[in-house]
Amino acid sequence: MTDSLLQLARDSSSKKKHQLAEHVTDLLAARADDGGSEESNLLNGMLEGVYGSLEQDTRKKMSERLADVQATSSQLAAVIAADDLPVAKAVLERSQSLKDTDLLKIAETKGQGHLLAMAKRDHVGKDLSKFMLKRGDREVRQTLAANLGADITEAEFEELVKDMPRQLGDRIRHLRKSNEEVLEDLFKDDGEIAAGVELVKRPSKIGPKSWLLGIRLGKTTLNKAVYQLALEHNLLDAVALLSFFSALDMKYVHKLMIRYDSTGIATVCRATGIGAKEFQAICKERCKHLKFPESTGSKWLTNYHMLDEIDARRLLALMKIKLKTVRQKEAA
């Protein structure tokens, strides 16, 4: 396969280069999280080599195809992100391959459309947020204020929220406060948080590994698995599946499941696509475990209906970033 791709790359015709770009993009997208391997490096290098000779439509398709692919190199992501806005938009909004230095450079040199796309990222770092608040127009600044994954200070937020409708500002303020509490609790010892007793393993018809295999083979879904496990009073196995699909360490998902409030576990569930019926089953079982009245579960479900999936994904991404930072400090 490699030899044939290299031969195609050497072909100087525009048609062949477009064929190469489309084929290699598909191959790279299929590698998902497999970044840094020799083959991934080769595929990225080929796309970088032909990128400048491709038509905008092909570049746009590449951007949309690779925006969520972690195997995309930072160099290729940076080239796409610096392109014209119709091409760059998907990568600017979603790609995790972009480095903070590349994002800051784009913020310094590109127009408001590029800044607006960056303001919608799941996480916007402190330095980038601060710069965008200075250079961005009203729409960019308000998008940052509404982005729960934007690292802005309380003072910066309060200044921005003055230009928002009061109800919207109050809602975002409440969400930011709740999120900060969840993030703080992740790093506290078990005895320091308001939570129930630890979950215990219970008998189930199908174990989490078998559920996972079935989901991967397309025989069932995460929603069906979580619903069934909740009916079987087996929240611990539900935690294992939610941990896998959220890519959040199981001990942290477990903490969120036994907390007395529902903000954290609702975030993980919404971000992983758990439906209202399935979350209701989780709420019912959580109420039994925490010895709460069923009316509490009803309130949790009402709040879940109001939780936006984008907000949930952003908070989940922020959790991972915070945890990664803590691990790096501990390892230093």
Q: Is the pLDDT of residue 27 over 80?
A: yes
SS3 sequence, the chain?
A: CHHHHHHHHHCCCHHHHHHHHHHHHHHHHHCCCCCCCHHHHHHHHHHHHHHHHCCHHHHHHHHHHHCCCCCCCHHHHHHHHCCCHHHHHHHHHHCCCCCHHHHHHHHHHCCHHHHHHHHCCCCECHHHHHHHHHHCCHHHHHHHHHCCCECCCHHHHHHHHCCCCHHHHHHHHHHHHHHHHHHHHHCCCHHHCCECCCCCCCCCCCCHHHHHHHHHCCCCCHHHHHHHHHHCCCHHHHHHHHHHHHCCCHHHHHHHHHECCCHHHHHHHHHCCCCHHHHHHHHHHHHHHHCCCHHHHHHHHHHHHHCCHHHHHHHHHHHHHHHHHHHHHHHC
Q: Is the pLDDT of residue 35 over 80?
A: no
CA angle 18, 20, 23 (to 5 degrees): 110
pLDDT tens, position by position, 48-98? 888 888 899 999 999 999 999 989 999 999 999 999 999 999 999 999 999
Burial of 15 (0-12, 13-18, 19+ CB in 10 A): exposed
What's the average model confidence in pLDDT over 214-219? 94
CB-based contacts of 272, cutoff 8 Å, min separation 6: 222, 242, 245, 246
Task: Find out whether 146 and 172 touch, Cβ atoms under 8 Å.
Answer: yes
Task: Find out whether 230 and 282 touch, Cβ atoms under 8 Å.
Answer: yes
pLDDT tens, position by position, 5-21? 555 555 556 677 777 88
Q: Is the pLDDT of residue 166 over 90?
A: no
pLDDT at 14: 67
pLDDT tens, position by position, 256-312? 999 998 988 999 999 999 999 999 999 999 999 999 999 999 999 999 998 889 888
Residue of 326 and 311 predicted with greater confidence: 311
Residue with tokens 């397309």: 218
pLDDT at 69: 92
CA pair distance 323, 329, nearest whole angstrom:
10
pLDDT at 23: 84
pLDDT at 8: 56
What are the domain boundaries of the chain? Answer: 1-97, 99-164, 186-331
Lowest mean pLDDT among 11-15, 38-42, 186-190: 11-15
Q: Is the pLDDT of residue 3 over 60?
A: no
How many Cβ atoms from other residues are within 10 Å of residue 33's Cβ? Answer: 9
**Whole-number average pLDDT of the chain:** 88
Residue of 332 and 186 predicted with greater confidence: 186
pLDDT tens, position by position, 113-163? 999 999 999 889 899 999 999 999 999 999 998 888 888 888 998 888 888
Give the predicted TM-score (pTM) of the model: 0.73
